[in-house]
Amino acid sequence: MTKQVKVFLVFLAVLAVFSVLSFFDIFTGVKSAKLHDFAIPLLPIEQDADQDGLSNKDESYWNTDFQNPDTDGDGFLDGEEVVSGFDPRVPSDHSMGDNIESTVYGAPKNLADTISIDENLSENALAAMIAGVAAGDLRPDVNDDAFDKGVEAISLTTFDNFSKMQSPPETTYNVIEPSKENQLAYLNSLADIIKKDLLGFSQVLNTSAPINGQFQFFAAKSEQFKIAHSKITSINVPRNWLEIHKAISNAIYGLYLNYHFIGNYENDVLKATIALGQLSSINAEIPGLLKTVQAKILEEKLEIDDSLYRVMDLIYKQ
């Protein structure tokens, strides 16, 4: 008997053992019934799995169930509610109008079932895969497309859960009157945070060295942004700056969270890997945020004696 045949037989034996064990529901928290969910034919992320008018990707953004056309069970499809300006997660007769603008600030509000940031995505995905193998749904040798769809469903769920983790915590800001003095004081405080934290001049990732040797860097960055987030949420914000302030605060929170995920690479590889991509997205948003700040300064006709705003004026005046 060749070595390859022996390996194949061992693999078959392992599969057989898993099948028997799953039959008796021995795995805690992994039910056979759930396995069928993974085997439900699903469409790619850009398509609409539950045919409610929201693509799977948009369902993730709105924190709605991508396999339930009516997440809040109010009789209206999720897509209908979004198009009509209603929150697809708030059951309503729509006569009162749960207008999105009144409940959220450009980002979905957390659902009651929002996933904890400590949730281990790698373990969850692994458990789902093991369960899929045990149930026979994740068998590449079967000629139907259940395997591909099962893997896709696990991936989608993982990304969906990761996306839910990105929601910033509910924060109460110290909103003050938009007098010129208040705005100048606010911008001075903001400049300090932008320079020292958001632009990250002081500590730079060594992008030419292997990433697995630099987790200390990510952990330190995470701590820096955690402090920065605490700073930015505690400063007084003139009312007319609230939207911009929240966007910057959310970006800093996102940086904290994703540096934290990468810093904890050893505990959750999958989450750290997705976080790397998310970091790039947040960093790409920073120039736009700064440009918004500069535009607002011009709009409010404010003159501030700070090197940050001087350089921003030079850069964005064109």
Partner 1 sequence: MAGILYFSYIFWWLWNLYPLDSFGLPGKTAGLVLISLIFVMAVAEMAFFWGLFGVLCQKISAARISSRTAPFILASGFVLAEYLRSFFFGVFNLGAGTFLGAHWTLGNIAYQFSDFSYILRTSSIWGIYGISFLAAYLISGIALSLIKKNYKNLLILLWVPALLIGINLLAPRSPDIRQEGRIPIAIVQTQIPSKVFYTADETIDSLTTKLELLEKSAEFIDSSENGRRGLIIFPEGSQLLTDLFKFLDEESVEKYFNELSEKEILVLDQIRFPEENSLKSKIVLVNSKTGIAATYDKKLLVPGGEFRPYLMRALLYVFSPSFRRSGFIDVMPGSDSNFIKFDDYKFVIAVCSELLSPSLIRNHNPDFIVGTNNFGLFNGGRLLERQMRSISVFRAVENGKYLVNSSNFGKSYIINPDGIVEQMASGADYELLTGTIVPNQGRTWYNYLGDWPILLLSLVIFGLAIRKNRNDKTG
Query: In angstroms, what is the minimal distance from the CB of 200 to partner 1?
Result: 8
Q: What string of H, E and C letters represents the secondary structure of 69-108? A: CCCCCCCCCHHHHHHCCECCCCCCCCCCCCEHHHHCCCCC
User: Residue 97 or 288: which CB sits closer to partner 1?
Assistant: 288
Applying CB under 8 A, which of residues 204, 213, 301, 305 lies at the interface with partner 1? Answer: 204
282 binds partner 1 (CB under 8 A): no
The one-letter code for the residue type at 91 is: P
Stretch binding partner 1 (CB under 8 A), from 10-18, 141-149, 160-168, 205-213: 205-213
Stretch binding partner 1 (CB under 8 A), from 62-70, 142-150, 273-281, 287-295: 287-295
Measured CA to CA in angstroms, residue 301 lies from 105, 180, 231, 297, 298 at distances of 25, 9, 26, 6, 5
User: Residue 102 or 207: which CB sits closer to partner 1?
Assistant: 207
202 binds partner 1 (CB under 8 A): yes
The site string for partner 1 over 290-309 (x = CB under 8 A, - otherwise) reads: xx---------------xx-
Query: In angstroms, what is the minimal distance from the CB of 313 to partner 1?
Result: 9
Applying CB under 8 A, which of residues 196, 226, 231, 296 lies at the interface with partner 1? Answer: 196
Q: Which residues bind partner 1 (CB under 8 A)?
A: 195-196, 199-204, 206-210, 284, 286-288, 290-291, 307-308, 310-312, 314-316, 318
